[in-house]
Amino acid sequence: MATDFTTARPPLWRNVRFLRILGQAVFVLLLAIVAREAFLNLEYGVREQNLDLSFDFLQQRAGFAIKEGIAYNPNESFYSAFRVGVVNTIRVALVGIVLATILGLVMGVARLSTNWLVRRIAQVYVEIVRNTPVLVQIIFWYVAVILALPVIGGALSLWSLVFVSNRGTAVAWFRLEDGAGAWGLFLLAALAAGALVLRWRTRVDERTGRPAPRVPWAVGAFLVVVAVGFWVSGTPVSADVPEVGRFGYEGGLQVSPEYTALLLGLVIYTGSFITEIVRGSIQAVPKGQKEAAEALGLSPRQQLRLVVLPQALRVAIPPLNSQYLNLLKNSSLALAIGYPEIVSVSNTIINQAARATQMLLLVMGTYLLMSLSISAVMNALNRAVTRKGQR
C-alpha cells in the first residue's frame, strides 16, 4: 500500500543546503567588514603620519651602512639594503641547516649507542640545550664567548686551518684560478663517473652474490677523474689559508663574530631537536624489522643501511621539515646581536623611513616564500622515499 507523499520543498530556513551557504555568506561578510574597517583605519593612521601605503619608498637612498654581506654601499636604495638582509639570512640558514643536521645525526646515533657514557653525554646535551631559550643561547655565545675571546693577536686556532677570535672566524678555503671553469666540468664528469661505477658495482654484487665493495670503488673513480681534471686544467684551485695579521685576518673565508655566534647558537639548539628526531625515528622502526633482517643473515651495517634507515627516514622527514623551518625563523633573532639579516635590516629601514606596514608585509612575505621553498624540497624528498614503499 503506497501512501501519497508530496515531495515538498523544505522551507528555506530549515533547508540544510541553504543554511550552509547562508552561514558561509555571513562569515565572509563579517570578515569583509572587519577587514575593511581595519584597512580604513590603517589608511587614516598612515596619513596622520604624513606617510603612504605604497612601496615606492624602497627606491629611496638608504643612507646607512651594513656590516657584512654582499656588495652594498649606503648610496644604494632601501631595496638593495633589504636584499643584503635576505642574502644574509640565506647564508646563515642554509649553512645552519646542514650543520645542525650533521650534529643531530651524530648525537642521535650517540643517544642510541651501546656505550653508557656516550649515551649520557648526548642525553645531557639534549636536556640542557632543549630547555633553554634559543635567544638566551645566541646572546650567550655572542656576549660571553665570542666577544670574550682573545683579540686578533691571540686568536685560537685549530691546526692553523680555523681561527677564532673576537673579530670573528676565518676558515681555510679555496681560491679559484684560471681553468676553474674547465675543472668544474671535470667535477661534474667525476660525479657521473662515481654514480656509474656505483651502479655497476651494485649490479655485480646482485649478479654474482659475492660482496663487491661499492662505495670505495665509486669514491675511487670520482677521485681519479677529479685528479685527472686537476692536472689537465693546470691547478685551477689553490688553498687560501688564513693568516693572522696585525689588524685582522688575511685570506681564508672570513665571517663576522655575529655570524659565528648566531650560527653556533642556531646549530647547537636545532641540533638537539634533530637529535631527538633521529633517535625517535630509529626507535620507531619496529624491532621485528631489525630482527628479521638479522635472521636473514644481513650484517649489522647492512641491516642499518637496507632496512632500518630507509624506514626511519620516512618517519623523520616531516619533523625535520619543521625543525628546518624553525631554524630559518629563529635566524630572525639576529636582531638582538646585530647580525644584519632580514629583520635586523628591516628594523633599520623602519627607523629611517618609518613605513612599518609595508616593511612588515615585505618581511613576512619573504619568510613565507622561504618557508614554502624549504617545505617544497622536503615534501619532494618525502615523496621520493615513500614512493618506493606503502604508507
Partner 1 sequence: MSGRLPGDLERTPLPVVDEPVVQVAPTRPPLTSGEWVRRNLFSSGFNGVLTVASGALVLFFGFQLVRFVFVSADWSVFQANLRVYMVGRFPEDQLWRVWAVVFFLATLVGLSHGVLVPRHLTRRGLVLRAVLAVLTVGALVYLVRSPLVWLLMAVTVALFAVGVVAGRRLGRRLLRSLLVAWLLAFPVVVLLLSVGDVSADQWGGLMLNVIVAVAVIALSFPLGILLALGRRSSLPAVSWFCVGFIELIRGVPLLTLLIFGRFVLILLMPPGLTFAQLVRAIFMFTLFSSAYVAEIVRGGLQGVPEGQYEAAKALGLSTTRTMALVAMPQALRSTIPPMIGHFISVFKDTSLLAALSFSELLFTARRSSQAFEFVGHQAEALLPAAFLFWVIAFSMSRWSQRVEVRLGVGER
Partner 2 sequence: MTTPAADETMDVPADGEAMIVAEDVEKWFGHFQALKGISTTVRRGEVVVIVGPSGSGKSTFIRTLNRLERHDRGRIVVDGIELIDDIKNIEQIRSEIGMVFQSFNLFPHLTVVDNITLAPRNARRWPKPKAEAKAAQLLERVGIPEQARKYPAQLSGGQQQRVAIARALAMEPKIMLFDEPTSALDPEMIKEVLDVMKELAGSGMTMVVITHEIGFANEVGDRVLFFDGGLLVEEAPPDVFFTEPTSERGKLFLSQIL
Binding-site ranges for partner 1 (CB under 8 A): 20, 23-25, 27-28, 31, 37-38, 41-42, 44-46, 48, 113-118, 121, 127-128, 131-137, 139-140, 143-144, 147-148, 325, 329-333, 335-336, 343, 347, 350, 356-357, 360, 363-364, 367-368, 371-372
Distance CA 283, CA 302 (A): 17
| Contact with partner 2 (CB under 8 A) among 5, 44, 159, 247 | 5
Q: Which stretch binds partner 2 (CB under 8 A): 1-9, 295-303, 359-367, 370-378?
A: 1-9
Q: Which does 41 bind (CB under 5 to 8 A by kind): partner 1, partner 2, none?
A: partner 1
Cβ of residue 148: shortest distance to partner 2, in angstroms?
Answer: 56
Distance CA 29, CA 210 (A): 72
Cβ of residue 11: shortest distance to partner 2, in angstroms?
Answer: 8
Cβ of residue 23: shortest distance to partner 2, in angstroms?
Answer: 12
Distance CA 74, CA 53 (A): 24
What would the grid cell of residue 299 be? 650484517
Q: According to the binding rule CB under 8 A, does residue 71 interact with partner 2?
A: no
Name the residue nearer to partner 2 (CB basis): 25 or 369: 25
CA neighbours closer than 13 Å in the CB half-sphere of residue 30: 5
Distance CA 169, CA 50 (A): 45
Name the residue nearer to partner 1 (CB basis): 42 or 65: 42
Cβ of residue 192: shortest distance to partner 1, in angstroms?
Answer: 35
Alpha-carbon separation of residue 275 from 109, 262, 263, 272, 301 (angstroms):
8, 20, 17, 5, 20
Q: Which does 1 bind (CB under 5 to 8 A by kind): partner 2, partner 1, none?
A: partner 2
- Residue 117, classified by CB atoms within 10 Å of its CB into exposed (0-12), middle (13-18) or buried (19+), is exposed
Name the residue nearer to partner 1 (CB basis): 149 or 221: 149
- Site residues for partner 2, window 10-49 (CB under 8 A)? 10-11, 14-19
Q: Are 280 and 314 in contact (CB under 8 A)?
A: no
Scored b (16 or more CB within 10 A) or e, 236-256 reads beeebbbebeeeebeebebbb
Closest CA to 85 of 377, 373, 367, 374: 367
**DSSP string across 234-247:** T--EEEE--EE-SS
Cβ of residue 382: shortest distance to partner 1, in angstroms?
Answer: 17
Q: Are 329 and 269 in contact (CB under 8 A)?
A: no
Residues 6+ apart with CB under 8 A from 276: 108, 111, 126, 130
Name the residue nearer to partner 2 (CB basis): 14 or 246: 14
Q: Which stretch binds partner 2 (CB under 8 A): 8-16, 186-194, 202-210, 359-367?
A: 8-16
Cβ of residue 281: shortest distance to partner 1, in angstroms?
Answer: 17
Name the residue nearer to partner 2 (CB basis): 3 or 115: 3
Q: Which does 159 bind (CB under 5 to 8 A by kind): partner 2, partner 1, none?
A: none
Q: Which does 283 bind (CB under 5 to 8 A by kind): partner 2, partner 1, none?
A: none
- Residue 69, classified by CB atoms within 10 Å of its CB into exposed (0-12), middle (13-18) or buried (19+), is buried
Q: Which does 60 bind (CB under 5 to 8 A by kind): partner 1, partner 2, none?
A: none
Return the ∠ at Cα 249 (arms to 245 and 250), rounded to 5°. Answer: 80
The residue ranges that bind partner 2 (CB under 8 A) are 1-3, 5, 7-11, 14-19
